[in-house]
Amino acid sequence: QALRQISQRTISTASRRQAENRVPEYQKLFQEDNGLPVHLKGGVKDALLYRTTMCITVFGTVYAIYQLVVSSMPKKP
């Protein structure tokens, strides 16, 4: 009986608060014609994430090409 009471209590009180619906705000933000690509419309956070991703990608590409060049050179005895 105690187990039944505990299980009913946790199920019934799991979600009392309703989350605020922000979909209309985001629709307005992302559909606005301001010349920005959609992946940068979120603001500073999106721009920082985009630039960080591009830096890591460029660094990784340059490093991979460097390693290919180094590995293609014959080793000196």
Which domains are present in the chain? 36-76 (4.10.91.10)
Give the model's pLDDT for residue 45: 94
CA 33 → CA 29, 38, 49, distances in Å?
9, 10, 22
Residue 1 — very low, low, confident or very high, per pLDDT cuts 50/70/90? Answer: low
Dist. CA 19–CA 23, nearest whole Å: 11
Mean pLDDT score across all residues of the chain: 85
Dist. CA 71–CA 77, nearest whole Å: 15
- Can you say whether residue 62 is alpha, beta or left, with left for phi > 0 and alpha for psi between -120 and 50 degrees? alpha
Q: What is the pLDDT of residues 35-67, one digit of tens each?
A: 999 989 989 999 999 999 999 999 999 999 999
Mean local confidence (pLDDT), 18-37: 90
